[in-house]
Amino acid sequence: MAGLLRRLLASTAAYQTPSIVSSVLALVTLRLYTSHLTTADYGYAENLLTAIIFTSILLRFGIGEAFVRFWFDDEDHARRLDLARTATAWTFYVSTVVALVGLAFAGPLSRLILDLDDATLMGFGLLGLWAFTNLEMAYALLRVEERRREYVVTGIVNILLTVALTVTLVVILDEGARGYVLGNYGASAIVLLGLWVLHRDRVSFRPPRRTVALLRFGGPTVPADAAAFALNVVDRTYLMHSQGADAAGRYAFAAKLSTVVIVAVRGFQAAWPPLAYSVVDEAQAARLYARVTTAYVAVTGIVVCGVTLVGRWAVRALTDNPSFYPSSEALPWVALGWALYGLVLVLVTVAGRAKVTTRNFPATVAGLVVNVVLLVTLVGPLGIAGAGIALCGAYVVIVAVLYLLTRDLFRVPFEWGRLCAAVVVLAVLGVGGELLLPTHGAEGLLSRLALLAAAPPLLVAARVVTPAELRALRRIRSAA
């Protein structure tokens, strides 16, 4: 178990490093961007970036997930290379065809997605779709071989290029939303070409062959993955059309400030499936799943608690544009939504381990339906906070339904007592501090930080984690 946890920590740290660097630079430059972008411009750009990720899920058709899963079924090097070439070729052809067709209809697509007639902005978005889709497949190649150092270097290069291009386009050339989108994905296209050259033995541009097994496994995951991520598209689109681009921009700003949670979730998302599928012993895997779930809830719970307590100060520290200040209303809910998404990943790997991917879809559809109902009900009276609450409600439903549908596939002895104790402790701290402590000034900030500092010892007192486990974790980290 210690060796597996060491691998998970090492992989998560590696995959988080680019995200951490990206997040720090994003937060540092956010003040600069928001001084040159209106809330409407920011809303248009972020809505398009979210639509790119959603569409990419559909285009890949689960090939990436199937590639990661089947890589560990066969240790023969030649067959693994053939698998990699098949997956990259499929991704290249599908993304290229869709991007070219999309360019022919860029104007109507812009009106449909953004309620704005800007074919150029949509064209930049289609370039982003092509680059992001293929880069995700290239990153999967690095993940299955646990090329952590290369992953980190590549990610940091991508980030630095992105910042340089975006600052040039948005701040110096004043290209607004167009510059923001092109800056984000122009760099990705450059990095993608570099990875293709470096790993040309694993990349193929020939028409893909023998994709049936990959599509049979990956295809059923697409509706579930798409429905789960659609939550991030539906709320922003609903805000865009019902409350206007300014509201969508404030909500997107809240999502950007949830970076501390997103970094943890994305690092976990990259590191967890390869490790989860590589454990052969069923009993050992079950114990690992349970232990990792408890640790995940405790760590991300502390982060969400912190966002809830000091979110107002973070918003004002990271922008001098008062039109973005109301973003703090949605910030705690968006952060909690991202944390809940990580629990969805745990349960998805349970189904993936059993190679039964059809049960994910009913859970995510149920969550999507709940999301729409809550959006219509809550956004009117609560604004962007209502959209955040709707996101959380949807993920709670997905987690609950997914657990019920997958628990007979692979029995995981979840540590329910510890999980409940963590939720209660952190909810009391976050909600209690928000209701009882000052909401402005140095006194409010310091008192809330002091309350947040009490979270780790209280979790130990509640036996969510024991002193012995902390000592073991320190030994594992030292050896990693």
What Rg, from alpha-carbon coordinates, does the chain have?
A: 22
CB-based contact 240:177 (threshold 8 Å): no
* Three-class HEC string of 384-418: HHHHHHHHHHHHHHHHHHHHHHHCCCCCCCCCHHH
CA neighbours closer than 13 Å in the CB half-sphere of residue 32: 16
CA neighbours closer than 13 Å in the CB half-sphere of residue 318: 25
Per-residue model confidence as pLDDT tens for the chain (480 residues): 555 555 555 555 555 566 666 666 666 677 778 788 888 888 888 888 888 888 888 888 777 777 777 776 767 777 788 888 888 888 899 899 999 999 999 999 998 888 888 999 999 999 999 999 999 888 888 877 777 788 888 888 888 898 899 989 998 998 988 999 999 888 899 999 999 998 888 888 887 777 766 777 766 667 767 776 778 788 888 898 888 888 988 998 888 888 777 766 766 666 666 666 767 677 888 888 888 889 889 988 999 999 999 989 988 888 888 888 889 999 999 999 988 988 887 787 777 676 666 667 788 889 989 999 999 999 999 999 999 999 999 999 999 998 888 887 778 888 999 999 999 999 999 999 999 999 888 999 999 999 999 999 999 999 888 877 777 666 655 544
Pick left, alpha or beta for residue 209 (phi over 0 → left; psi -120 to 50 → alpha; otherwise beta). beta
Dihedral over alpha carbons 211, 212, 214, 215 (to 10 degrees): 110
Q: Which DSSP state fits 170?
A: I
Which amino acid would we find at residue 174? D
Backbone angles phi, psi at 445, to 5 degrees: -65, -45
> How many C-beta atoms surround the C-beta of residue 407 within 10 A?
13
